[in-house]
Copies of this chain bind each other. A is one copy, B any other.
Amino acid sequence: MRTHELVLQWIEKQLSDGDLALGGRLPGERAMAEQLKVSRTSVREAVRILEAMGVVRAGVGSGKDAGTVVIAEPGSALGSTLRLHVATRHLPVADIVETRVLLESWAAERAHVGVPALEEAAELLDQMDAAPDIDTFLALDARFHVALAQAAGNSVVSAMMASLRGAIENYAGELTGNLPDWDTTCARLRAEHRAILTAVNNNDGGKAAELVAAHIQGFYKEAGVGSDHSPN
């Protein structure tokens, strides 16, 4: 077993045993190295991996943002991993879109009416009506979809949803260039968003799921991502 894996194992045990909780701080790199009888380099490699996994965040200096603290951001971490695998051509974009449809439809169907996430979603829709440019709109759009997924109350689905969205975020931006008329598309997307949210709030899960599926598939189809097409 390689040295940095030993460090990883030790840290994972600290987490499992509850000796290290969310928001907690890892010992300094030098201290951990001495304690585990390994070099600082190995400790750093382990920390880097955890950072890439979204389990910790490293900050220099002193104060609250300093040190290596335990966080919980699986979404961005999974997103980076998927993005890299898309780059290797191993994961087709079409499969990602299809999975997104699956997860988001499921979430829309089971969204709990009245949770804060839905209120946030409503606010985001208002902000999208006033979005000055495409990029702002897309950023708000991403947050809307994540909020919708959170309303179902399954943190794994939320995280995966966010990661799928993140993995193809670059495409979404590029794809808007393929659209014949952004203003028209944007208006349609806004209307579809409101219809989805209305269905959810009316406890009409089945309809919400259908609308979400059509919404996502419609966008990518219009932008030119077919079922057997693998851009990049």
Contact = CB atoms under 8 A, between A and B. Distances in A.
A82 B155 CA distance: 11
A95 B155 contact: yes
A18 to B, nearest CB: 8
Contacts of A159: 85, 91
A156 B103 CA distance: 12
A81 interface: yes
B156 A87 contact: no
28 contacts: A12-B87, A15-B84, A16-B87, A16-B232, A21-B88, A22-B88, A22-B89, A22-B90, A44-B45, A45-B45, A48-B49, A49-B52, A53-B84, A54-B81, A55-B84, A74-B82, A82-B156, A90-B155, A91-B155, A91-B159, A92-B155, A95-B154, A95-B156, A99-B157, A102-B102, A102-B106, A102-B157, A160-B160
A82 B55 CA distance: 10
A80 interface: yes
Contacts of A55: 81, 84-85, 88
A90 B21 CA distance: 10
Contacts of A45: 44-45, 48
A193 interface: no
A156 B88 contact: no
Contacts of A232: 16
B88 A15 contact: yes
Interface string A194-224: 0000000000000000000000000000000
Nearest to A163: B78
Interface in A120-158: 154-157
B50 A48 contact: no
A209 B72 CA distance: 32
B74 A157 contact: no
User: For A80, A90, A157, which residue has the most chain B Cβ atoms within 10 angstroms?
Assistant: A90
A89 B14 CA distance: 12
Nearest to A90: B72
A157 B85 contact: no
A108 interface: no
Nearest to A170: B16
